[in-house]
DNA sequence: CAAACTACTAAGTGAACGCTTAATTAGAAA
DNA sequence: TTTCTAATTAAGCGTTCACTTAGTAGTTTG
């Protein structure tokens, strides 16, 4: 009855593009509203496709979320892989890791939203993804090695637990961004201006590097 | 028709107790599942009362959430008020603030769950609560003053932004706890054992106090 | 070309869930 | 005792939402 949409004519039928569009839309929706707040109706509206394609390609809402998580994690991994290649001196390597961790959170804001969701659900999705589970071993090795080299050359204090240091470096950026709304209200500031982000980046670097002094 | 429950006999009809039971149950439910994941049916099941009492006393789910948030925040405030009274030397005061912030998160686990929820919803609930908005001014003043005294006596470095320091102190504990599930998976550890918590507490203290050295 | 396959659509369905209606009962006030 | 108010309950209403059914139309293949 209705006039046929122009897009139905030719050139449609692009499964890979459709899948990617759904994944992109789902990433935004899950990151913004969390798993429970997300609506698959919203995802298909953003992706401009029929709702059943979500079920055709991904099965159900939970499997869609897992697909989103795996893609997000492999992006983080890629990001960190770059870091590991740089074999500068220990202090430069550490500074690079700090800055790049913070910038990763700033530049891909969906990462934090997804992590928040995954922790509400007690990590039950990534727990079953061996890819993700083993992802951070290399990064921890890199941290340990950098730390050791710094201790050997006398620029770092000794006895620092690499795991705790890893958590701290992530915490400093993650919390600033994940809690920017409540922090904004109670501290009367806008934490997302470029100037404020630069200030935070410098502060985080100072905190960690200052702590690591012998 | 059915046998009357024993509790209906006498001694029931306790509006304050009922309200408190609902608030307690709602706090647990909202903190565990987040605002969207929480079910008011679950709240009344935990509170062992009829569902309509929730609407009778609180109006709707959102207003119930606001009531929960206000109570949670005033507890945090109370906790911090204690801190401000201690006028020990700057280093002791700072150490006390660090440890007590971490322990506050550990001892009232619902705090983090509620903050997570509130940030997903862009702080739209606490934004309209003047009580909460003004709550942290005093704490920030205390931080600023402690910092200044430490600089004057030569035990702290100068030029530290009190706001950023406040964020960092909170970040170090908050992230460790809010993300314990994903961290547990990727770092192969249990972060909730008493020993691990003590290790983290010591590490956070080292990071901040180490950073503050001149 | 025809058959088979798969991308894609339209139109539901059933269940969950927030909330309401309407009535009942306990206790306070008069 | 009667009256009034507020605490409490039972039952269900309307909507939202994840997911399904059943079909159409491009695309590939024998």
From first to last of its 214 residues, chain A has per-residue pLDDT tens of 222 222 333 446 888 999 999 999 999 999 999 999 999 999 999 999 999 999 999 999 999 999 999 999 888 888 877 776 666 799 999 999 999 999 999 999 999 999 999 999 999 888 887 877 777 888 899 999 999 999 999 999 999 999 999 999 999 999 999 999 999 999 999 999 999 999 999 999 999 999 999 9
Nearest CB to B123; choose among A34, A132, A181: A181
User: Which of B32, B176, B193, B182 is CA-nearest to residue A127?
Assistant: B182
Ranges of CATH 1.10.357.10 domains, chain A: 63-212
CA dihedral A67, A116, A79, A85 (to 10 degrees): -120
Q: Do B179 and A181 lie within an 8 Å CB cutoff? A: no
Nearest CB to A120; choose among B37, B183, B184: B37
Please report residues of B whose CB lies closer than 8 A to that of A66: none
State, as a whole number of angstroms, the distance between the CA of A13 and the C1' of C24.
62
| Residue B3: predicted pLDDT | 29
Q: Sign (positive/negative) of CA torsion A161, A162, A166, A167?
A: negative
Please report residues of B whose CB lies closer than 8 A to that of A122: 181
Please report residues of B whose CB lies closer than 8 A to that of A199: 161, 164
Q: How far apart are CA B178 and CA B189, in angstroms?
A: 15
State, as a whole number of angstroms, the distance between the CA of B10 and the C1' of D5.
19
* CB-contacted nucleotides of strand D (7 Å): 6-12, 16-22, 26-27
CA dihedral A189, A191, A196, A201 (to 10 degrees): 140
Report residues of chain B scoring pLDDT below 50: 1-11
| Residue B4: predicted pLDDT | 30
Partner A contacted by B185 (CB < 8 A): yes
- Enter the CATH code of domain A63-212: 1.10.357.10
- Enter the CATH code of domain B11-59: 1.10.10.60
| Residue B144: predicted pLDDT | 94
Nearest CB to B171; choose among A126, A172, A210: A172
Contact A118/B186 with Cβ under 8 angstroms?
A: no
| Residue B41: predicted pLDDT | 96
Helix, strand, or coil (residue B113):
helix
Ranges of CATH 1.10.10.60 domains, chain B: 11-59
Q: Do A208 and B207 lie within an 8 Å CB cutoff? A: yes
Burial class of A101 by CB neighbour count within 10 A (0 to 12, 13 to 18, 19+): buried
Question: How many C-beta atoms surround the C-beta of residue B24 within 10 A?
Answer: 16
Q: How far apart are CA A9 and CA A7, in angstroms?
A: 6
| Residue B2: predicted pLDDT | 29
Selected residues 139-158 of chain B with any CB under 8 Å from a CB in chain A: 140, 157
* CB-strand contact B50/C, under 7 Å: no
Thinking of the domain B66-212, which architecture would CATH place it in? Answer: Orthogonal Bundle (1.10)
| Residue B85: predicted pLDDT | 67
């Amino acid at each position: 009855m209705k006039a046929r949409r122009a897009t139905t004519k030719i050139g449609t039928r692009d499964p890979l593009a459709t899948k990617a569009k759904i994944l992109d839309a789902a990433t935004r929706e899950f990151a913004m509203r969390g798993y429970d707040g997300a609506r698959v109706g919203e995802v298909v509206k953003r992706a401009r496709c029929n709702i059943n394609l979500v079920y055709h390609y991904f099965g159900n809402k939970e499997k869609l979320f897992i697909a989103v998580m795996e893609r997000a994690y492999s992006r983080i991994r890629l990001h960190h892989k770059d870091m590991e290649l740089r074999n500068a001196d220990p202090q430069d390597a550490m500074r690079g890791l700090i800055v790049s961790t913070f910038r990763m959170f700033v530049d891909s804001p969906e990462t934090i939203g997804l992590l928040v969701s995954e922790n509400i659900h007690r990590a039950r999705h990534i727990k079953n993804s061996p890819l993700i589970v083993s992802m951070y071993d290399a990064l921890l090795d890199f941290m340990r090695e950098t730390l050791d080299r710094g201790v050997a050359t006398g620029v770092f204090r000794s006895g620092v637990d690499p795991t705790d240091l890893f958590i701290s470096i992530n915490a400093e950026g993650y919390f600033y961004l994940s809690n920017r709304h409540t922090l904004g209200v109670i501290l009367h500031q806008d934490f997302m201006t470029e100037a404020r982000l630069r200030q935070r980046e410098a502060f985080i670097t100072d905190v960690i590097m200052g702590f690591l002094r012998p």
